Amino acid sequence: MGKLSATAIVERALEIGDTEGLDAVTIRRLATDLGVTPMALYWHFKNKEQLVVGLADHLIAGFAPESDDDDRPWRERMRDLIEGLVRLLRTHPCAKSVLEQVDQVAVPSFLAVWDLALGLARRAGFDTEQSCLISKYILQSAIAIADAPVHYSARYTPEEAAEIVRRKRVTLQSLPADRYPYLVEMAAPMVGGISRETYDTFGVDLILSGIESLAARR
C-alpha cells in the first residue's frame, strides 16, 4: 500500500490549511486524518518547520516561473510573475500564512522565484541593492493585492460567508463616524466587496507602475 508519503502529507495539510486556517494544521491532527500515529510524520519530515517548507515548495512549484529562454521585455515577464503570485494567493487561502511563516531561503522553488525577480530587476536597470529590495517588494505587494477577503468560499457555505461579511461590515459601520469617517463610509468595499477587476488589473498596475517609473529615471 504505502499510504503515507511526503506529498500525501503535504496535500492533506494544504486541504486543512485552506479550509480551516494554517493554525489547524498540526502534526497530531494530520496524523489522525491520515490514519496514522503522529510520530509517523517524523519519518517524512524532520520537524514541523520542514513540513511548512514542504507546503511552501508545493505551492510555489505549482506556478513554475517560465524558463530562461523567454525573450520578452522585463515588464511583461514581471507582470506575469506578479499575476502568478496573486493567483496563487487567491487559489490557496493559506498561502499567505505559509509564505509569512516559512524560512524562505529553505524553499527551493521560492529561491527560483526570487532569482527570476532579481534578474528582471537587474534587466530593468536597477543596481544590486535596489534589485534585492524590489524582489522582496514584489512578493509583499502581491500579498497586499491578493489579501482581499474573498477566501471564505473554501471554508464556509455561500450563506455563511455572506453572513460573516455582513457582520464585519456592520462592525465597521457602527464605529464612531467622527473618528473614522472614511472607514464608516467605505465599510462595504473594505470588507470584501471589491470587484475582481479592481484588484487584479488595478492592483498589478499599482505595483508595476511604481517599478517602471523608477526604472525610467536611471
Partner DNA sequence: ACCTGAACACCGTTCAAGT
The footprint of DNA (CB under 7 A) covers 2-4, 26-29, 36-40, 42-44, 47-49
Pair 74, 65: CB distance under 8 Å: no
Minimum distance from residue 61 beta carbon to a copy of itself (Å):
14
* Of the candidate residues 35, 69, 182, 218, the single one contacting a copy of itself (CB under 8 A): 182
Residue 123 cell numbers, joined? 534587466
Interface with a copy of itself (CB under 8 A), residue total: 56
Please give the Cα distance from 141 to 132 (Å, whole number). 14
The site partner of 6 among DNA, a copy of itself, none (C-beta below 5 to 8 Å per kind) is none
Write the binding mask 138 to 177 for a copy of itself: x where contact by CB under 8 A, - elsewhere.
Answer: -xxx-xxx-xx-------------------x--xx--x--
* For a copy of itself, the closer CB: 32 or 167: 167
* For DNA, the closer CB: 51 or 161: 51
Please give the Cα distance from 208 to 45 (Å, whole number). 38
The site partner of 159 among DNA, a copy of itself, none (C-beta below 5 to 8 Å per kind) is none
* Of the candidate residues 111, 150, 154, 164, the single one contacting a copy of itself (CB under 8 A): 111
Task: Name the one residue in this structure whose C-alpha cell is 455582513.
Answer: 166
